[in-house]
Structure 1
Amino acid sequence: MTTSRLPLARVLTMLLLSFTTGLPAQVSGDEGMYLFNELPAELLQERHDFEATAEWADALRLSSVRFNVGGSGSFISSDGLVLTNHHVASDTLHKLSTPDRNLIEDGYLAKSLQDELKAPDLELNQLVAILNVTERVNAGVSTDAVSEEAVKQRRAVIAEIEKESFDETGLRSDVVTLFGGAQYHLYRYKKYTDVRLVWAPETEAAFFGGDADNFEYPRFNLDATIMRVYEEGKPAKLDHFLRWNRNPLSEGELVFVSGNPGRTQRIFTVAALKFLRDDRIPYVLDYLRRKEILMQQFGLEGTEQARRARDELFGIQNARKAYTGMLAGLQDPQTFVAKRGREDRLLSELKKDTELADLAMAWSAIEAIQDDKRAMLDQTVSLRSTFAELAMQIVLLASEELKPNAERLRGFTDSSRESLMQELLSTAPIYRDLEQVKLADEISRLAIHRGVEDNLVQEILAGKGPRERAAALIEGTRLDDVEVRKELIEGGHNAVFSSQDPIMILARTLEPEYRIIREKNEQIEERERQAYAKVSQAITALEGTSGYPDATFTLRLAFGTVKGYSEDGKWIDPTTNFAGAYQHAESHKGQIDFDLPQSWMKAKDQVDLQAQLNFVCTADIIGGNSGSPVVSRDGELVGLIFDGNIQSLTSDYLYSDEQARAVSVSGVGILEALRSIYDAKALADSIGK
């Protein structure tokens, strides 16, 4: 588990899903999250009369970026401007805020380069190269290796590939598992770690309508933020960035989405989906509800406490609503009808073919694996507070660096070190009062799952209750001092394992059990990976490849058309405008979250009320696509993905374009707001140039 300095939404994604990926069901409509090195050229030509040239794809790929906090973005000027969502940037906005300057609520505009605020720990990744390394990875794993040995062998060969690539190029190098283990690709990224805030609107504009409108449509949101990447202390000079289309979109127009969808499970068998429905998602929802109450109660203690808890609370509430929608979709019996029917047909065909019959055993293997995953649900000693996660990462790092690179855990290899240091040495504030509340709750939760009489729990409690123990741990730690963390890391194993910091001692106490649990989970994932590789092989043999693997939080291309839909007998137009935003505020006057900010009210007479604000399209997106650019046939930016409607929440495991839609801020609307509301004409003029 990575450090909890990551936004909770990303932590929860890793909590909920394994990394098994494979072939989804056969493509329908505008379904597809395509690899940039395997674009559906024929499909686009036949269906949309569009030629996806290599030059077009390369320009879009190199103009796209991935945020390490779990979102997407794009370069929008030659001098380093980056566009993403306000909610993707909120982690940075929160860390840059103070009791006297609440950037999330009040917004920000840098009037000059000197006013641009440096993010404490943000990393942006630009995908510059993709290499297929499947043969080498497979050659590194013995065909007769048991899961425990296979995990080590695969880890070793992947670490070797990544290190060689990093040493050769200096680029971040990640081996990505695709098509259920049928393919492995090496992704090389240029990293930008000097990222600065340029402009952000107020929350009242970015999250207008609040939780009530979240995952709904029509929407009237300005969920956008602009940052800038720097190199050697100066704005980066970029060869690839998106030009900006100044024209509003019309229904039926073809658009493309270039972003980093998190995880999908479209290859999942019926048994695997049942595990999600009956066990995993309910477990995560219980966790979310507990944390939501905790953050709400902390926020009620005062204005400053509410500010400190706000970003995490938003992530919890957003995740809770998303997973509630996913669960509702899985609880609908009709969701399983097509899935079960296709699975039965595949198994029937496999049994008829003597050369493929053995592949049918993969479905049984996956069903058995779900029992093992079920048994591991409560098996965790990760205490999800910033202090505890920092300490665990430092303890693991000290031990892993004593090993040869090929034997280290993922995330601790030489090629990962720079990104890890970016997180561990972040200068973002850590609030002790909030940490104490979170740590007490995590200790209490661990005691519930393991039992208070459990030896490890007794050692953690040290004769105190969870609240008293957390208070003592927080009072004694110095891990909020970056220099203390740096000294521990540079001091290596001796410094880390002799430290008397109470939270470091706690991390050392938990480390052996953490490793045991992590190893068990990795062995389960290895077995599942091998089984899904056979499922992928069976699907390919009987149906041919669908053209895209399940999502892996790596760059993909989706496409669709601007298109409205019918809901409850009412037609929903695909676009909204500023007039609609003001009308929406008026019709909900007095309701929380439906007040437009004062900047909007003061500028109403200057705003072009007919300017397009939001739109929907049929592009295939999920979480992780937040902040993705939406581009035209010409590769010009026309919008910014920020949400999906409620009908799209089943997209993790089932695509449909009947009602499901991707929701975007219009490029036209962003420019109109910058010019007419935020007095940012110079910024607006520099975009796309």
Structure 2
Amino acid sequence: MKKIILFFLLALSAFPMRADEGMWFLMFIERLNHRDMEKMGLQLTADEIYSINHHSLKDAIVQFNGGCTAEIVSKDGLVLTNHHCGYDAIAELSTAEQNYLKNGFWAKDRKSEMKPSSLFVRFFVRMDDVSKRILSKLNDKMTEAERDKAIAAEIALIEKENNEGGKYTVSVRSFFQGNEFYYFVYQDYKDVRLVGTPPESVGKFGGDTDNWEWPRHTGDFSMFRVYADKDGNPADYSDKNVPLQPKHYLPVSLKGVQENDFAMILGYPGRTNRWMPAGGIEQNVKFAYPAWVEGAKTGMDNMKKYMDQDATIRLMYASKYASTANYWKNRQGMIDALSKFGTAKTKAAQEAKFDKWANKPENKAKYGNVITNINKFYGMTNEKARHDNYLQQLLRTSSYGTIARGIGKQFEAYAKADAKDRAEMKPDMVLMIDEFFKEVYIPAEKDILAAQLHLYATKSTGYKIAPMVETLGAANNNDFKTYVTSAFELSMFSSPERMKAFLEVPNAAMVTGDPLYTLSNDLLTHLAAKSDDIAKAQNDYGAAFRNLVDGLRVSKMAPIKYPDANSTLRLTYGKVRALPADKRNDAKINNYTTMEGMIKKYKAGDEEFDLPARLMELNKKKDYGQYADKAGYMPINFLTDNDITGGNSGSPVLNGKGELIGIAFDGNIEAMAGDVIFDPKLQRTINVDIRYVLWIIDKYAGAKHIVDEMTIVK
């Protein structure tokens, strides 16, 4: 272990880099980053950031519901995250009559806080290096499947050794493409309740138009509370549970930000691909992402026409639409940015240099075929990548695309069970049916499925499509409306009444023979299938990519020295940093936005740019309370140059003292290639100024009792 860490440190010292690039492990902060951070303005010790022996910043940072980040901001377990991170929970708790997404919600007391059906936060306890242990079980003669099996077996042992009888969740993750391994210990709390959320006109101000754009004026935040049993342990929801008393919570600063102020972010970045080969970038830009964009837009268009007709339908599809729209714009931005900056060409030049080193006599045995095998794999799978992305967008936007994998399998199991087991299963089956139809509107589902089948059948021309779709398309000139209408008329999955009737007289053949089940099964089976040639190329690619990363590090040609993000806790640090002057922003320096700038965007009744009347009135009176900047304006958002990605949504932005100054919620579209390559000139993180958050809670919502719960630093 010591040798691995020493090599990591030596490699880093040989390659100086900008301090604002990188997503760093907390356990290495003292050795790798602390000195640079102090020079930039950090006033905390490394032990105050990460410690396993006493409370530290890491104890106030949680992973929120598996896909975002959040922070604890009071001694009673109050949680801040993004509005878009809490969106599912808020939508679930809303009805057409009590629409908390549209109108907002603020709990007047603890008893008024609301529990969504499924929501959890994950606390990080500790991590450690198990690279030597796992790598000792592997050898170069193994296939990738054999290697994966050996790794999985050792991971199972490590997880069992560290979970303390189920008290903790333990996750072993690979880094540097399988060249290093670390385990992470977490504790999950499942009783998490909604405390407050601004109306959608604040939390999503700017909508899709402003998404990924600067200047920005979005109050992207929501608030929850973590509950535990009387001893502070995780517990299922109960009215006997009490607010969690956290090991650490963040003080909140009202001092505001200035250009070049130190800023650090702790969070759970989801996925970066900074080590991706040139062929992978080329495949995404020319094949995968264009299909993703077109498929997502097709799904969105067919959701939207029904969402605009009825408030109940809008709530049904609000979360799915928002998620689809977010990635639709992201992927188009990725295409544009990666093309503009010639990222694939830059990577190809690096790989050509590496290939020369790899084919030197002393390196050839291990590294000689690396680039050849990588490029062979991408050449064989370019058209498949296009095909898979069209099909995946069908499955993501149609509730019936995956029915064979979800509800269908449950119905098969129910039909095959004996009478006793069915009696036990039945209540859960009824609940599952009811939950499914809370997010399904049949006319919309028909149109989504028919449109996506047409797109898939007509655009996935370079790779063989699913057999059933091919047959149906040939018979109907790729017009799937008639077939889809007929399938829904015949399918038991098209109504809750039919599905519940099945529970009374179950028959497995009725499930597997159902037209919607049959179609879904055909799509899923085809997506998972691959030829022997592609399977072999994929095996060779796995080994080649791992050796590429290893060789780049050994040869000291590696363009970066930190591991890709993979939803594990990381720290990134940088500064408050402006973009070039922009006439669209009324701010004196283009690193923040103001309420006056937001008001200028206001469009009465507009879905994206409407604003609450009360907010407009308060602004007219300049009733900003203690939350105004010392220059007199009301701040909304600000920019830093931190290195973040998806999953960092909701992450705390902290000053040098570890005080909360903002909440990260977006990046700028000019740097959309950031998941693949960091651009120090353009890359920015867009954050909600914490003063705007507090102003909304206190002055706009009249929920000062929530602000009073926090430790405010003036």
TM-score tier (shorter): 0.7 to 0.9
Asked if the contact 1:254–1:562 (Cα under 8 Å) also holds between the matched residues in 2, the reply is yes
Q: CA RMSD in A?
A: 4.0
Matched, 1:98 2:95: yes
Residue 368 of structure 1 aligns to which amino acid in structure 2? K
Larger RCO, structure (CA 8 Å, separation 6 or more): 1
The aligned runs of 1:229-244 (5 Å cut-off) are 229-231=226-228, 232=235, 233=238, 234=241, 235-244=243-252
How has the CA–CA distance of structure 1 residues 447 and 75 changed in structure 2, closer, same or farther, with 3 Å as cutoff? same
Residue 53 of structure 1 aligns to which amino acid in structure 2? A
Matched, 1:371 2:383: no
Residue 56 of structure 1 aligns to which amino acid in structure 2? I
Matched, 1:432 2:429: no
Query: Secondary structure of the residue that 2:86 maps to in structure 1?
Result: helix
- Partners of 1:523 and 1:636 in 2: CA distance: 52
2:667 match? 644
Query: Secondary structure of the residue that 1:78 maps to in structure 2?
Result: coil
Q: Which has the larger radius of gyration?
A: 2
Query: Secondary structure of the residue that 1:212 maps to in structure 2?
Result: helix
Query: Structure 1 length as normaliser, TM-score?
Result: 0.81
Asked if the contact 2:279–2:344 (Cα under 8 Å) also holds between the matched residues in 1, the reply is no
1:456 match? 468
Matched, 1:123 2:113: no
How has the CA–CA distance of structure 1 residues 329 and 449 changed in structure 2, closer, same or farther, with 3 Å as cutoff? closer
Give the Å deviation of 1:641: 0.2
Matched, 1:57 2:50: yes
Query: Secondary structure of the residue that 1:174 maps to in structure 2?
Result: strand
Give the Å deviation of 1:367: 1.1
Matched, 1:67 2:60: no
1:280 match? 288
- Partners of 2:126 and 2:435 in 1: CA distance: 31
How has the CA–CA distance of structure 1 residues 453 and 397 changed in structure 2, closer, same or farther, with 3 Å as cutoff? closer
Give the Å deviation of 1:686: 0.8
- Partners of 2:466 and 2:594 in 1: CA distance: 59
Pick aligned residue for 1:32 from 11, 18, 22: 22
Pick aligned residue for 1:603 from 607, 614, 618: 618
Give the Å deviation of 1:332: 1.7
Matched, 1:135 2:132: yes
How has the CA–CA distance of structure 1 residues 113 and 591 changed in structure 2, closer, same or farther, with 3 Å as cutoff? closer
The aligned runs of 1:260-339 (5 Å cut-off) are 260-336=268-344, 338-339=346-347
Pick aligned residue for 1:582 from 576, 599, 607: 599
How has the CA–CA distance of structure 1 residues 373 and 190 changed in structure 2, closer, same or farther, with 3 Å as cutoff? farther
Q: Which runs of 5+ in 2 are unaligned?
A: 1-11, 229-234, 414-428
Query: Secondary structure of the residue that 1:180 maps to in structure 2?
Result: coil
* Worse-superposed segment, 588-597 or 553-562: 588-597
- Partners of 1:99 and 1:183 in 2: CA distance: 50
The aligned runs of 1:211-610 (5 Å cut-off) are 211-231=208-228, 232=235, 233=238, 234=241, 235-336=243-344, 338-352=346-360, 354-355=362-363, 358-377=366-385, 378-379=387-388, 383-384=395-396, 385-389=398-402, 391-393=404-406, 427=435, 429-433=438-442, 434-445=444-455, 447-448=457-458, 455-457=467-469, 466-467=480-481, 470=484, 476-477=491-492, 513=526, 515-516=528-529, 527-543=540-556, 546-566=560-580, 572-585=589-602, 593-604=608-619, 605=621, 606-608=623-625, 610=633
Residue 681 of structure 1 aligns to which amino acid in structure 2? K
- Partners of 1:90 and 1:669 in 2: CA distance: 19
Give the Å deviation of 1:108: 1.2
* Worse-superposed segment, 106-115 or 345-354: 345-354
Asked if the contact 1:261–1:622 (Cα under 8 Å) also holds between the matched residues in 2, the reply is yes
Residue 532 of structure 1 aligns to which amino acid in structure 2? F
Give the Å deviation of 1:540: 1.6
The aligned runs of 1:611-650 (5 Å cut-off) are 611-650=634-673
Residue 282 of structure 1 aligns to which amino acid in structure 2? P
- Partners of 2:595 and 2:459 in 1: CA distance: 50
1:197-255 deviation line (CA, Å, top 9, x unaligned): 11111121122233332222222221110011222432223222222222211221111
- Partners of 2:604 and 2:97 in 1: CA distance: 29
1:377-401 deviation line (CA, Å, top 9, x unaligned): 225587333355364046679999x
Give the Å deviation of 1:617: 0.6
Asked if the contact 1:643–1:663 (Cα under 8 Å) also holds between the matched residues in 2, the reply is yes
Give the Å deviation of 1:32: 0.4
Give the Å deviation of 1:341: 4.0
Residue 572 of structure 2 aligns to which amino acid in structure 1? A
How has the CA–CA distance of structure 1 residues 454 and 537 changed in structure 2, closer, same or farther, with 3 Å as cutoff? closer
Give the Å deviation of 1:671: 1.1
1:60-83 deviation line (CA, Å, top 9, x unaligned): 222111233522111112222111
Residue 615 of structure 2 aligns to which amino acid in structure 1? W
Give the Å deviation of 1:525: 6.0
1:5 match? none
Residue 551 of structure 1 aligns to which amino acid in structure 2? A
* Worse-superposed segment, 153-162 or 129-138: 153-162
Asked if the contact 1:616–1:662 (Cα under 8 Å) also holds between the matched residues in 2, the reply is yes
1:680 match? 703
Query: Secondary structure of the residue that 1:118 maps to in structure 2?
Result: coil
Asked if the contact 2:604–2:611 (Cα under 8 Å) also holds between the matched residues in 1, the reply is no
* Worse-superposed segment, 621-630 or 370-379: 370-379
